[in-house]
Structure 1
Amino acid sequence: MQNLPDAGQGTLGKPDPWAKFRGLTWWQLLLSIVPIILLPFGGAIGGAIGAAGLFANLSLARKQLATPLKLLAMVSVVLASYLGFFVVAGLLHNLFAG
Structure 2
Amino acid sequence: MPHLPDLDKNSLGKPDQWAKFRGLAWWQLVLSITPALLLPIGGAIGGAIGAAGVFVNLSLARKPFGAPVKVLAMLGVVLASCLGYFLVAGLVLNVFGG
User: Do they superpose with TM above 0.5?
Assistant: yes
Provide Cα deviations, 1:40-80, integer angstroms capped at 9, x if missing partner. 22111111100110000000000000110111000000000
Distance 1:33 1:88 in 2: 21
Provide Cα deviations, 1:13-36, integer angstroms capped at 9, x if missing partner. 110000000000001000100101
Matched, 1:53 2:53: yes
Q: Give, as a single letter, the amino acid of the residue that structure 2 aligns with 1:85.
A: Y
Q: Secondary structure at the match of 1:8?
A: coil
Distance 2:86 2:44 in 1: 14
Distance 2:15 2:31 in 1: 24
How many residues were matched structurally? 97
Q: How does 1:1-98 map to 2 (within 5 A)?
A: 5-97=5-97
Superposition RMSD in Å: 1.5
Distance 1:92 1:24 in 2: 36
Distance 2:53 2:22 in 1: 18
Scaled by the length of structure 1, the TM-score of the pair is 0.92
Q: Secondary structure at the match of 1:6?
A: coil
Scaled by the length of structure 2, the TM-score of the pair is 0.92
The percent identity for this pair of structures is 68
